[in-house]
Amino acid sequence: MSDLYKQNENAPDMLWEKGIKRFAEVWTADDKPVGQAIRLHHRTHDINPALKMYETYLESNSVKMGGPVFIPTDFITHYDPASGKVMLAVDMRTVQRETWDRTPGFIAHRMSKVEELPA
């Protein structure tokens, strides 16, 4: 089964309940760093995971990938407040293959509800 079927629709609530902070480190399932968490973007319409139009994205600043990475929160498995790590259900190859380093159209067109992460 593809990693893209391992979805966690409750990830945004879990992140807030565990007190996610700005600059939390984002790591892939194969233990590779993606970047630092900055903010959440919420899609307000046309949500359809089957078409890869996810409801919420975690924006992460990534030096490794040359800029922002927009990770659908459906693929976040865990946030550990003690270590400040956000863990993904997918490996780095999947992050790259899914081109999450491209800004989703609804974000580029400023049609998202933005939530800044607290420092």
Question: Quick one: pLDDT at residue 4?
Answer: 58
The strand pairing partners of 71, in sequence order, are 58
> In this predicted model, what pLDDT tens digit does every residue of 92-119 receive, in sequence order?
999 999 999 999 999 999 999 999 999 9
Mean pLDDT over residues 38-44, rounded?
96
Choice between 5 and 90, residue whose per-residue pLDDT is larger: 90
Which range of residues forms the domain containing residue 107? 3-116
> In this predicted model, what pLDDT tens digit does every residue of 49-93 receive, in sequence order?
889 999 999 999 998 889 999 999 999 999 999 999 999 999 999
Please state, rounded to an integer, the average pLDDT across all residues of the chain.
92
Element (H, E) at 14: helix 11-17
Residue 39, number of CB atoms within 10 A of its CB: 16
> Rounded to whole angstroms, how far apart are CA atoms 25 and 60?
9
User: Residue 3 above 70 pLDDT?
Assistant: no
Q: Which residues contact 108 (CB under 8 A, 6 or more apart)?
A: none
Number of domains in the chain: 1
The secondary structure of 76-114, three-state, reads EEEEECCCCEEEECCCHHHHHHCCCCCCCHHHHCCCEEE
**Residue 45's domain is classified under what CATH number?**
2.30.30.240
